[in-house]
Amino acid sequence: MLILAKAAMALMLGFICAIICGAILIPFLRKFHIGQSVSKTISERHQLKEGTPTMGGIIFIIPVILGLIYLFITKSISSSYNLAILLFVFLSYALLGFVDDYLKVKKHNNGGISIVTKFMCQMFIALVFFFLFMKSGGSTTLRFSLLHINIPLGWTFGLFIFLLLVGMANAVNISDGLDGLCGGLSAIAFLAYGIIAWNCGWLEGYQEIAIFSFILVGALIGFLMYNSHPAKVFMGDLGSLSLGGALATIAILTRHELSLFLIGGVFIIEAASSLIQIIAIRKFNKKIFKKAPLHHHFEELNWEENDIVKLFWTVGLIFAMIAITYGVWL
């Protein structure tokens, strides 16, 4: 019962704080014209979203910080190396996304941080992650528990961290193209990892990782009150990059890296559709999809935005349920 009470409190804290943050921040973003630029290659219905406030990721980032501070002060949680790693990655990607969003708003186009600069920043984040992970006594062995296979990676585990962080951060970013899509999928994903983390009793700071996840789930639900169609605010790179980075980090810390391919399955499918489209056009001068990523393909088929989002949420929920079954009971 204590576990359920803590989880419920974390969810409520995140939700209430996000509702308050949204009510305060959205008028502020409008006042200073911090609006989204929409690519001219996107469908006409998206052109109507030009100027909608962006950088809305702050609406669910602030509740996580405030919620953890409150729970720490009330001694409901304690500090741990793993929580420090998670917060470092979460806030570092948030900062990277903030700078990217700021440059886009300043230039009034979608050209933010250069690819090289973004790559170097993400490499630095991965290196610090790896250093802290090793200092905390983390294992560099990749485990396939169902197959009873263990692969010792040694120092190459640092490369694995980098690839997982960059891959998931950008996959989530690519999926942030429809009102409520990324926020809803992320809420489902962090709920799944929160449940998995709470069952990792062997892990230092497992409760703190779970509480982080549950606060974020509550905050994302609160954010969806403003981001569902028609969206009053977009999360921006500030939100999507921080969510992707945190998701990959929890997967690594809980040693459920393989579960990420299910829990983050829709994000991965979205990113894969874009990659497949690029390869098909460059190599064969043909399109596999009417438009990429995949959610835009459904738009070209004249699906309503809400119907696409509901479909993707449903698939994400099914994937998450399978992953929870694998991660908790198998």
Q: What are phi and psi of 209, to 5 degrees?
A: -65, -40
| Domain locations along the chain | 2-257
Tell me the pTM: 0.95
**pLDDT above 90 coverage of the chain, percent:** 79
Residue 5: strand, helix, or coil? helix
- The helix/strand/coil state of 258 is coil
Distance CA 22, CA 61 (A): 11
Provide the 8-state DSSP code for 152: E
For residue 1, is pLDDT > 60?
A: no
Task: Give the model confidence (pLDDT) of 52-104 as tens digits.
Answer: 999 999 999 999 999 999 999 998 889 899 999 999 999 999 999 999 999 98
Cα angle for residues 139, 141, 144 (degrees, 5° grid): 125
Q: State yes or no: pLDDT of 43 exceeds 90.
A: no
Q: Residue length, the chain?
A: 330
DSSP string over 183-244? HHHHHHHHHHHHHHHHT-TTSTTHHHHHHHHHHHHHHHHHHHHHHSSSPS---HHHHHHHHH
